[in-house]
Homo-oligomer: A and B are copies of this chain.
Amino acid sequence: MKKKLKIGLVGFGVVGQGLYDVLQKSPALDAEIVKICVKNKRQRALPESMFCYSGEELVKDENINLVVELISDADAAFHIVAAALRNGKDVVSANKKMIAENLAELIKLQEEYGVSLLYEASACGSIPVIRNLEEYYDNDLLLSVTGILNGSSNYILSKIFEENKGYAESLKEAQELGFAEADPSFDVDGFDSLFKLVILTAHSFGTVVNPEEVLHYGISNISDFDIRFAREKGYKIKLVGQVEKLEENKISLFVLPRLVKKDKYIYNVEDEFNGVVIKGLAYDKQFMFGKGAGGYPTGSAVLSDITAIGHDYKYEYKKKNFYKEFLYVQSGEIEIYLRYRKDEDLAHFNFISISEEYTGPEYNYKIGLISIKELLAIKDHLREMDIFIAVTRKTLNY
């Protein structure tokens, strides 16, 4: 059942090199990296003959039957991945942005050319959440998937809540340790979590959602006031992505900071770890926990996909192909904590009802119900205001 894999590797950064190392420790896997495509020529530890400088050349190489794509540029990655699929090559990718933005097209290409594209490493690093949703939770029982999907912002939040540090200091520490990029926006503003959530949604409920139509907001505006508020009430703030089944074959999804109580599984997910809670009828809640970021954990997820390709594994997109379609809806209400300073910022928020309000010398806050649609309409402006938003109570009243 096993086929010999001749791998063309695209990108040789932290994950690519991690994979190279991990493959050396996997003698039982009949896989060999025959070519590595990189952007620029420079002195490297491997012989020059291993490298090429054109993705086009690589995807046409007849010695290669599997392309492993590990670059960060999503557009360039899509170009290479699509070309590889069209050339009849299987592909493994860890590029969440590329996958999430092009999922419909990528599913079509797989069907059309009879090839397999696997991307377990694109969501939650080493935790096999896509595979489990596809293979094990492939029935009508699934109710929701909720998780801490971004290791960088979780690392920052851990420093804040475990070590009493401020946001700026924690961010700097995360950057120094390589857990956050120089431009941290992709992580801390929730883009990374959003793309992962879109991917998980396709395998949870079969719905391919355009990331641009999903509410997402991150932690970059968090202030000491917010941290103090959460701590006083016995909460931690976590950045949480969630997709949930509603009535009548509808689903809702969003990425938002959340005030999390001690009794929740994700309360104890700290540092660069990810944790996913899968909730369903009969089995109630299941929790998967592991390293969400870093070269080796991601490399190990890529390795598992490579092994699966060796066994001719394909995602069947079972939820999409065998179940009634779930429709993504933006309706519904959530209860949020809104911290603000100026009334002109507050004016953007049309609360349906308010349960708590506070005004003080430093900041003000309101806690109340608001419609998801209203937040979505102003989502691109949320970061510009001097505010912070966190979900206090789960979604309601769909």
Indicate whether A299 reaches chain B with its CB closer than 8 angstroms: yes
Contact with B along A279-312 (1 / 0, CB 8 A): 0111111111111000011011101100110010
State A391–B130 Cα separation when bound (angstroms).
36
CB distance from A255 to the nearest CB of B (A): 23
Whether A299 contacts B282 in the complex (CB less than 8 A), given A28-B140, A318-B311, comes out as yes
Q: Is B300's CB under 8 angstroms from A283's CB? A: yes
Q: Is B29's CB under 8 angstroms from A140's CB? A: yes
Whether A290 contacts B287 in the complex (CB less than 8 A), given A268-B268, A300-B282, A316-B311, comes out as yes
Q: Is B289's CB under 8 angstroms from A286's CB? A: yes
Q: Is A289's CB under 8 angstroms from B290's CB? A: no
Q: Give the segment of A60-68, A84-92, A131-139, A226-234 that binds chain B.
A: A131-139
CB distance from A77 to the nearest CB of B (A): 23
Indicate whether A184 reaches chain B with its CB closer than 8 angstroms: no
Residue of B nearest to A324 (CB): B28
State A299–B299 Cα separation when bound (angstroms).
35
Q: Give the segment of A5-13, A19-27, A94-102 that binds chain B.
A: A19-27
Whether A283 contacts B139 in the complex (CB less than 8 A), given A28-B322, A323-B28, comes out as no
Residue of B nearest to A303 (CB): B139
Residue of B nearest to A21 (CB): B282
Q: Is A282's CB under 8 angstroms from B311's CB? A: no
For the complex of A and B, 10 pairs with smallest distance between CB atoms: A282-B300, A126-B283, A286-B290, A283-B300, A287-B289, A128-B136, A282-B296, A26-B140, A28-B323, A283-B297
26 contacts between A and B (CB under 8 A): A18-B282, A26-B139, A27-B140, A28-B139, A28-B140, A28-B323, A28-B324, A29-B139, A29-B140, A120-B136, A126-B284, A131-B135, A131-B136, A132-B132, A135-B135, A138-B304, A141-B303, A281-B300, A283-B291, A283-B300, A285-B290, A286-B288, A287-B289, A287-B290, A288-B288, A311-B318
Beyond the given pairs A138-B311, A280-B300, A311-B318, 10 more chain A to chain B contacts, judged by CB atoms under 8 angstroms and listed by A's residue number, are A2-B322, A22-B282, A25-B282, A26-B139, A28-B140, A28-B322, A132-B132, A139-B304, A282-B296, A284-B297
